[in-house]
Amino acid sequence: MPPSFVPVRPGRPAPPTLVETQRAVEETPPPAGVRLPALGALAEFAVDPAVTDLLLDGHGVLWRDAGGGVQPVADLPPLAPDEARRLAVALIAAGDRHLDDATPCADVRLPGGIRVHAVLPPVSTGGPLVSVRIAAAEPWRVDRLVAAGMLDEAERALLTAAVHERRNLLICGPAGSGKTSLLAALLAEAPGHERIVTVEDVAELRIDHPHVVGLETRQPNADGAGGIGLAALVRETLRMRPDRVVVGECRGAEVVELLSAMNTGHDGGAGTIHCADPAGLGARLEALGALGGLSPHALRAQALAAIDLVVQLERRDGKRRVAAVGRLAAGSDGSLCVVPA
């Protein structure tokens, strides 16, 4: 049975094909005044520039985050499971990928700085799930982050000086804490003659800089071939004459390649990592290093030599802010810890 074949029970209409759903998105004009037409049926709910996330839950309810936390969209009735599935398939198809019973999870990038992640049942224990992350209408700059309260003037001075001095940065924090926004804003402070090469799983970084080159991972095809992961792409950057190597998010063996690049003359590099507390950063780095074949001792040595500054972010009461700026150090037991910068 071909992987894309979906059995149809008697009396049940056949699910729309990829071509049909993609055509539906292209031919259905978005409501007037929308700013992100690639979102199709969801575009009208992202008119407000403050909207950063649109989330469809397993009951067909659409939720929206406009800076004050996630709240349900009151003027949209819950979608039926078939409607939710068609929406999820159409959004993923708009990013040139398939979403079906054979491939029930997918992640794509759409025009306008949009990342869409979708999951179908039975992987989803309810109905289809859609998570949309929307980038700011304009690339972030440090001035705007200061005005938004993410960092104060002292932190601004410290971090911009670190960029100008080509220090290696690691930005940490939980999901939705603004890691990508801060990273993009800081990289925009780099001199215009420098070449920034970014590596991401799904391209999200929007950097206001004249010379940015981006690489994005590729998923394997239906036969499991052709995939290119983050670790391989970080190695590719070293052949591209980079002044700064940037990994949008370290979540696996690529952390080893990034630390290696930072330790072999590629100063001014940066990356982000999911970590809710500075006390857990050392263990998190060691776990990722193990995926790349590094022992805890070797990972600690590499990290201490490579990372100059650690920036910890937090999200509290809907606000994103810098919680601490520090540096890595070896604790009394030899493990990694973060001390004030």
Q: Which of 134, 156, 185 is the last residue of a domain?
A: 134
How many independent structural domains does the chain possess? 2
Same domain, residue pair 129 and 180:
no
Q: Note the pLDDT of residue 5.
A: 38
Beta-bridge partners for 172 = 273, 312
Same domain, residue pair 129 and 157:
no
| pTM reported for the whole predicted model | 0.80
Mean pLDDT within 49-68: 92
Is position 128 within any domain? yes
What CATH number is associated with residue 170? 3.40.50.300
Same domain, residue pair 163 and 277:
yes
Ranked by mean pLDDT, the top range of 42-46, 83-87, 315-319 is 83-87
- Is residue 13 scored above 60 in pLDDT? no
Q: Which of 76, 111, 134 is the last residue of a domain?
A: 134
Q: Note the pLDDT of residue 2.
A: 41
Kindly indicate the confidence band of residue 50, based on its pLDDT and cuts at 50, 70 and 90. confident
Is position 92 within any domain? yes
How far is the CA of 65 from the CAs of 9, 57, 77, in angstroms?
Answer: 38, 14, 18
Give the 3-state DSSP-derived string for the chain, with helices as H, strands as E and coil as C.
CCCCCCCCCCCCCCCCCHHHHHHHHHHCCCCCCCCCHHHHHHHHHHCCCCCCEEEECCCCCEEEECCCCEEECCCCCCCCHHHHHHHHHHHHHHCCCCCCCCCCEEEEEECCCEEEEEECCCCCCCCCEEEEEECCCCCCCHHHHHHHCCCCHHHHHHHHHHHHCCCCEEEEECCCCCHHHHHHHHHCCCCCCCCEEEEECCCCCCCCCCCEEEEECECCCCCCCCCECHHHHHHHHCCCCCCEEEECCCCCCHHHHHHHHHCCCCCCCEEEEECCCHHHHHHHHHHHHHHCCCCHHHHHHHHHHHCCEEEEEEEECCEEEEEEEEEEEECCCCCEEEEEC
The residue ranking higher by pLDDT, 209 or 202, is 209
Same domain, residue pair 173 and 205:
yes
Mean pLDDT within 66-94: 91
Q: Note the pLDDT of residue 22.
A: 47
Q: Which of 134, 156, 178 is the last residue of a domain?
A: 134
Q: Note the pLDDT of residue 3.
A: 41
Query: Tens digits of per-residue pLDDT, 223-250?
Result: 778 889 999 999 999 999 999 999 999 9
* Amino acid at site 88: A
Is position 50 within any domain? yes
- Is residue 17 scored above 80 in pLDDT? no
Query: Tens digits of per-residue pLDDT, 135-179?
Result: 887 889 999 999 999 999 999 999 999 999 999 999 999 988 999
CB 121 within 8 A of CB 57: no
The residue ranking higher by pLDDT, 3 or 236, is 236
Is position 165 within any domain? yes
What is the rounded distance in angstroms from the CA atom of residue 286 to the CA atom of residue 11? Answer: 54
Among the listed ranges 110-114, 129-133, 307-311, which one has the minimum average pLDDT value? Answer: 110-114
- Is residue 217 scored above 70 in pLDDT? yes
Query: Tens digits of per-residue pLDDT, 258-288?
Result: 999 999 889 999 999 999 888 899 999 999 9
Is position 123 within any domain? yes
Same domain, residue pair 42 and 103:
yes
Helices 254-262 and 230-237: angle between axes, nearest 10 degrees:
20
Kindly indicate the confidence band of residue 27, based on its pLDDT and cuts at 50, 70 and 90. low
What CATH number is associated with residue 119? 3.30.450.370
